[in-house]
Structure 1
Amino acid sequence: MPLPPFPPEDRVRSPYTGWTRAHWEAAADALLAAVAPHAGPEHALISLPGPRPSRSGPRSDGLEGYAR
């Protein structure tokens, strides 16, 4: 899935990075879109693929994925 276009930099409002609130919103949207295919049926768990679950178990890992 391609990333949505980011707004142009604004070095007046943000002289160090050029990023404004719109940039951070676009970045957050892209991160959420990347994990959406791994969401549970009610979107309360995000179970990311990996070699094995943690010691806490896959359900705890899914809750952790949602919380982060």
Structure 2
Amino acid sequence: MTHNEKLLNALMQFKNSAYEIRELWEHTDSRTNSNLCDDYPFDNDFCEVVEKIGDWVMTQNSLLNQNKTN
């Protein structure tokens, strides 16, 4: 497995984990939800962050796959 393939695999795992966290967070109780907001490190709502992660990973997927064919 090449370095780029490993990177792409890690990015896909990152994207999938972000989507899973979003889904789980949506079903937390109010205390857990409040705790998750403590020291929240992003300027945007987590749903927006997840969508941006997904878009970014898909862009990288396209770019890395382009490099494979060149």
Note whether the superposition's TM-score is higher than 0.5. no
TM-score by length of 1: 0.36
Structure of larger gyration radius: 1
The structure that is helix-richer by fraction is: 2
TM-score by length of 2: 0.35
